[in-house]
Every structure is written in structure tokens, then in C-alpha cells.
A and B are shown apart, each in its own frame.
Chain A
Amino acid sequence: MSASAGPETNHPTPLTYFKAAMILVIITAIEVGIVYIAALESIMIPLLIVLSVIKFAIVVLFYMHLKFDHSLFSWMFFGGLTVALFAFILVLTLFQVFSSPSNPEVVTVEAKHGEVAHEEEISKEPSAEEETSAEAVSTDNQSTGNILVAKGCGACHAVTDVSGATGVLGPSLDGIGSRASSRQQGLSAEEYIRESIESPAAFVVEGFDPIMPELRSTLTDSEFEQLVSYLMSLN
């Protein structure tokens, strides 16, 4: 390896750069187009990822001329990139980013006690929410337990059987169904639970700070009912 054999000898010409620029523009246009084509919705995400990887590669290989440069540079850059991809895909997996799609209407249900590969998605179309959610309440208690996680309750409250509900800022919800009736004079268990969600500050369990936010407005009516009946069922 001599110093004089620099990389610039076989660098691409401005024409190549121009072609690369055109490809980049065209791919970007395709990407934006894909977003608006309803027919492609199901394969949109993989398609967009592939296209942006191509763009990424063109810039790195041609504009940053890694293709023509010493391989050590490639090692340094792709080494960093690989570690980043590895670590953060692992982090995202731990946060279940891939298993629960960004679409908020879909709640991912995870099997109890860590039985893997048993994931089903209960799709709740907003239009038909009454029936589906009612069904969910009656069929599978665990799925409503997931509402607890999906709506963020689990960040502060713990329920032993729900893997995502492990918070400690608020009281544990284990056995809330049987405890609730004894909390406040004149309130039945169900009324107490309703009140606790609708106006969290009305009664604060001893030893905890009054920090629970008003979250009722983030729930649809059916979700709220579902949540209440789930909490009632925790004995």
C-alpha cells in the first residue's frame, strides 16, 4: 500500500454523480408515491425500507466513495453501523416495537407466562368496536389485561399476571376487584374503580403520591367498560 496510489485515480466522473442524483430523486418520488397508493398498504413498510436502503447505499458508495476507497474506511463505518443496528434492533424488540404495529387500533396480545410464538392480534375497528370489545371481555381475560399495558396503566401499576404491568409508582392492582368495595364508604367496588379512573385525585391510596393523570379521555367508552370489568375480575 503506497500513499501515492490515492483513491482519486478511479473516482467516478460528474456524469456518474449526476446519474446517482437522478436515481436518488426518482426513488424518493416512488417512495412518496407508495405512501398514497392504498393497494400497496400491506407491503408498504418493507418496500419503503428496501428503497431507503438503496438510497443509503448509493450515497455511501458513490458520494462518499467508499466503493472506491480503502476497505479500512468501510470497516470503520459499517462496523459502527452494524453495532448500531444490532443493539437498537435488540432494544426495539425488547420494547415490542415490531410486534405491536404503530396503528393504535390494534392491540397485540401476548401469551401468558411467556409461551412464545403465540401471538394473535385482536383487531378492533373503531366502527365495530362495540361487538368486538364485548367479545374480548367475555373470551379472554388476558387480552383485557393488555389494555392495561397498551393504555399505559402498567407503567405505574403492577398486575402479577400481566408481563407489561410492573410499575411501582402507583399501587399494585392485584386483587383490586375484592379490595375495591372496602375503600370508600358508600361506594361499591365498581363505583370505586370508575371513580378512581375518572377522577384519580378523589381518593389516593395511602403511601402514594397524587400523581395519576386523568386518562379517561384517552379511552373509548367500550375500552373503559372493558377495563373496569377486567379490574373487577382481579380477585
Chain B
Amino acid sequence: MEPETSTHHTTTGLNHRKLLMWAFLGSDCMFFGSLIATYLIYQSRSIVGPIPADILDIPVTSVSTFVLLMSSFMMVLSYNAIGKGDMRRFRIWVMGTILMGCTFLGFQVYEFREFALHGLTPRTNLFGSTFFTLTGFHGAHVTLGVIWLASLFWFSYKDPETLKKDHGLSVDLAALYWHFVDIVWIVIFTVVYLIGGV
């Protein structure tokens, strides 16, 4: 007789929550797909300036892109640490990820402010409307990720054993989300800044 517990007894042997996470990420592709498509459709249709080439600052955004990429690197290290049960390293790396995420958001706030000072707001033209909406919703995803990681950080003091369960599944899920936000940025950086910005 084997006790059936719903966490370990599933048809595919996979964890429910992890399946949910991947289904969500597949679905979120459609969300960002819609936003990016809207951006591309409108990118050369603004009737008044400024247009992307006038205002996008590729060097500054390259730095913030670097920061986000590095945060993904730290995230994967913290996942690696929790998988080994190393709480100390986990906390270090997850805190690093949080700080990097906040830095990225800081860059975004700076960028939005700069643009506003140069006369680009969501109400200025179609470029402004689409740009702020697209990057704003990406920023909202990053913010949510930061809150999620901060909750895990707090929880690692409250109840480390639960966090370690299933090879750090809770951390794995947050990490998947974080990396997804990172790859969305990879696309936005290329499409909006590099291709559209010159």
C-alpha cells in the first residue's frame, strides 16, 4: 500500500505548479506579442515627433540591458544554490537579483523622465503611446518579479525547509518567470531600440 499524495502522484510525473507556470508563460507570449505587434504597426505612423531615432538612447539602454541579463545569471545561481540546499548562497544571489531588478527599474524611471523632459509622453504621438505601454507593461512584469523574489527572500528566513522542498520548486517557478521577463526584454531591446532606434 502506497499513500497517494497529490503532489507526487500525477499522470505525467510532473509538478502541477510547474506545468501551470509554463502554460502561463506560453500564454504570456501572446500578451507581449500583441503589444510588440502594436508597436511595430504604429512605429512609423506618428504624425508629429519625436520619433524613435530622435530620442532613444542606445548606450544607456545597453547598460540596463546588461543589468537585466546579469540579474538572470544571478537568478540561475540562486536556483542552483537552493537545489543544493545552500541557503546562504541562495540568499546572496537572490538579493543580488532583486537589486539588479531594482536597478533596471531605476533605469526605466530615468528613461521615462528623460523622455518626458524631451517632450515625449504617452499623449504626444503614437510612438509615445505604444512605447510607454510596451515598456511600461514589461516594467510592471519586472516589478511583480521583484516583489515575488523579495517574498521568497523573506520566506527563506521564515521557513527555509519549505523553500527547499522539491529541489527548490518555489524558487524554480519564480526563476522561470524572471527569465521570461528577461527574454521579453531581449526582444524589446532588439526590436524597439536597435532596429527601430536608429
Contacts and interface: CB of A to CB of B under 8 A. Distances in A.
Given A60-B183, A84-B29, A48 B80 contact: no
Interface stretch (B105-113, B144-152, B186-194): B186-194
Interface in B30-44: 30, 32-34, 36-37, 40-41, 43-44
* Residue among A21, A45, A78, A213 having the largest count of chain B Cβ atoms under 10 Å: A21
Contacts of A83: 29-30
B167 A52 contact: no
Secondary structure dominating the interface of A: helix
Interface string A82-118: 0111011001100101001011100000000000000
B162 to A, nearest CB: 17
Give the size category of A's interface with B.
Answer: 35 or more
B117 interface: no
A21 B70 contact: yes
Interface string B154-194: 00000000000011000000011001101100110110001
A17 B76 contact: yes
B83 A21 contact: no
Interface in A19-53: 20-21, 24-25, 28, 31-32, 34-35, 44-45, 48-49, 51-52
Contacts of B9: 3
B195 interface: yes
A210 interface: no
B75 A63 contact: yes
Given A1-B13, A59-B179, A14 B80 contact: yes
A88 B37 contact: yes
Given A91-B37, A97-B40, A152-B45, A63 B179 contact: yes
A208 interface: no
Contacts of B43: 102
A218 B70 CA distance: 43
Nearest to B10: A3
B13 A52 contact: no
A65 B29 CA distance: 18
Interface of A: 1-3, 5-6, 8, 11, 13-14, 17-18, 20-21, 24-25, 28, 31-32, 34-35, 44-45, 48-49, 51-52, 55-56, 59-60, 62-64, 70, 72-73, 76-81, 83-85, 87-88, 91-92, 95, 97, 100, 102-104, 152, 213, 215, 218
